[in-house]
């Protein structure tokens, strides 16, 4: 048996070595920018249970971040944990098909209006990348239309005009990252969200060149204007374009059947993630069988084949976690209860910020929303960018000091929030408004 190097033990640290400062110092040595790239690297969480999380100093927070969306039932749900434990005794992953993954695909096909077939990946960003690739394979065209400020993962296409600080004329794309070839810019058409006339003009300009339109039905926190998604559906159908709903965030969140049911518009493809894995890495592309056929070389031939392989795609642990999560979400009253809590928090924002005379807009839906500090209606990315960022930072800082953990620009409600949590949240909103 190999002996363990004592130097290695010291480098790893002892069980007694704890605390935020300790872990922040270690992170700074081994992680670029001292973090995973997702969130404030100064936050290092040690555990979560129900609606609450604790950091490495033992500070307790009500979790309104919920892992950026997956933990819609809260942390450590006993039913999900039980299903996972049972599967772990049977095997963690196989690379082959497995019954849990097949059963989950059947459930998705039953649940989502657009879904006739499903293909798994591990992350939402991968799902979006493959959805755009499928659209190109299906149509034989090259360009993808996306919306300024829309988030679709970390592929080269997705990192076009995700969060541009330089506002250029549409349809020009602004890369959000180094390392992206200039040729990618030429393949993307950028449009303003909620502006159907602008979309029509761009589609006229690039008639016959656009393979797909990819859109978050709720773009970050921006709700679609009346008729906007319907108009995208009409234009895509008329022009032979694949309409892709990025439902990685919205799938199973507003209603069990996704934003496509909530807003009443059915896309050709949708991408799913977060909730379908029950807290484990899992995502999917779901959609029309004739488009999904491009994952099957025997049906479309070598020229039309879209290659996709992933080591953990459809792994059974994530699949059973997703199946159990979705089973719980189907129970009566779950979504209504989350919506009621969301509306209460929205109401508190309006009441207390209004009383303080602070210009603000509540943007989003009760299950996912935030406040933009602006006197003007916020309907697109530029409206969000025009908000008072300093006020937003001060407000969020006060919320953190009151024991709430949330993202900088969104707040998730979830099923684990209790009445006690709500009392603390509403009090924190009041205090944050007063602090401004």
Q: Pick the catalytic residue: 143, 274, 406, 430?
A: 274
The residues spanned by each domain of the chain are 78-329, 333-390+398-408+429-436
pLDDT for the residue numbered 101: 98
Using CA atoms, how far apart are residues 4 and 265, in angstroms rounded to an integer?
Answer: 59
Q: Pick the catalytic residue: 120, 151, 193, 349?
A: 151
Using CA atoms, how far apart are residues 432 and 392, in angstroms rounded to an integer?
Answer: 10
pLDDT for the residue numbered 18: 80
pLDDT for the residue numbered 16: 54
Closest CA to 126 of 267, 363, 251, 313: 313
pLDDT for the residue numbered 49: 97
Other Cβ atoms within 10 Å of 370 Cβ, number: 24
Summarize pLDDT for 253-280 with one digit per residue, the tens. Answer: 999 999 999 999 999 999 999 999 999 9
Summarize pLDDT for 344-364 with one digit per residue, the tens. Answer: 999 999 999 999 999 999 999
pLDDT for the residue numbered 2: 38
Q: Which stretches in the chain have pLDDT values below 50?
A: 1-15
CATH number for the segment(s) 78-329: 3.40.640.10
Is 246 noted as a catalytic residue in this protein?
A: yes
Using CA atoms, how far apart are residues 316 and 321, in angstroms rounded to an integer?
Answer: 8
Using CA atoms, how far apart are residues 92 and 252, in angstroms rounded to an integer?
Answer: 25
Residue 271 in contact with residue 244, Cβ under 8 Å? Answer: yes
Angle at which helices 196-205 and 228-239 cross, to 10°: 20
Using CA atoms, how far apart are residues 84 and 321, in angstroms rounded to an integer?
Answer: 6
Q: Which residue has the tokens 């690379």?
A: 95
Closest CA to 370 of 412, 423, 418, 421: 412
Using CA atoms, how far apart are residues 157 and 76, in angstroms rounded to an integer?
Answer: 36
Is 274 noted as a catalytic residue in this protein?
A: yes
pLDDT for the residue numbered 269: 98
Q: Pick the catalytic residue: 55, 63, 128, 246?
A: 246
């Amino acid at each position: 048996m190999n002996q363990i190097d004592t130097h290695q033990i010291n480098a790893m640290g002892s069980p007694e070595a704890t605390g935020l400062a300790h872990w922040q110092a270690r992170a700074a040595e081994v992680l670029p920018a001292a973090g995973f790239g997702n969130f404030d690297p100064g936050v290092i969480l040690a555990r979560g249970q129900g609606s609450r999380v604790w950091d490495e100093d033992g500070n307790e927070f009500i979790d309104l971040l919920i892992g950026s969306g997956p933990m819609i039932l809260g942390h450590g749900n006993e039913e999900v944990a039980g299903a996972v434990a049972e599967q772990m005794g049977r095997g963690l992953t196989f690379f082959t098909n497995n019954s849990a993954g097949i059963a989950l695909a059947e459930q998705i096909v039953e649940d989502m209006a657009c879904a006739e077939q499903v293909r798994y990946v591990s992350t939402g960003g991968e799902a979006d990348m493959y959805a755009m690739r499928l659209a190109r394979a299906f149509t034989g065209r090259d360009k993808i239309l996306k919306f300024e400020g829309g988030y679709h993962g970390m592929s080269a296409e997705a990192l076009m005009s995700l969060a541009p600080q330089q506002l250029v004329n549409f349809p020009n794309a602004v890369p959000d990252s180094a390392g992206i070839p200039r040729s990618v810019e030429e393949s993307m058409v950028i449009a303003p969200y909620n502006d159907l006339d602008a979309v029509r003009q761009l589609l006229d300009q690039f008639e016959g060149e656009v393979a797909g339109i990819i859109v978050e039905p709720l773009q970050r926190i921006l709700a679609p204007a009346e008729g906007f998604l319907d108009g995208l559906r009409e234009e895509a159908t008329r022009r032979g374009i694949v309409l892709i709903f990025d439902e990685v965030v919205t799938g199973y969140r507003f209603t069990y059947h996704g934003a496509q049911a909530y807003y009443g518009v059915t896309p050709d493809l949708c991408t799913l993630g977060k909730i379908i894995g029950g807290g484990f890495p899992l995502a999917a592309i779901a959609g029309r069988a004739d488009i999904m056929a491009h994952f099957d070389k025997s049906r479309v031939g070598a020229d039309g084949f879209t290659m996709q392989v992933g080591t953990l795609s459809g792994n059974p642990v994530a699949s059973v976690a997703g199946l159990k999560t979705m089973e719980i979400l189907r129970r009566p009253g779950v979504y209504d209860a989350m919506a009621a809590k969301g509306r209460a928090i929205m109401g508190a924002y309006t009441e207390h910020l209004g009383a303080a005379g602070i210009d603000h807009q509540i943007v989003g839906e009760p299950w996912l929303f935030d406040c933009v500090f602006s006197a003007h209606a916020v309907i697109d990315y530029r409206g969000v960018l025009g908000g008072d960022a300093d006020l937003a930072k001060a407000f969020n800082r006060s919320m953190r000091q009151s024991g709430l953990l949330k993202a900088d620009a969104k707040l998730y409600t979830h099923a684990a929030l209790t009445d006690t949590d709500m009392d603390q949240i509403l009090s924190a909103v009041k205090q944050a408004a007063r602090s401004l």
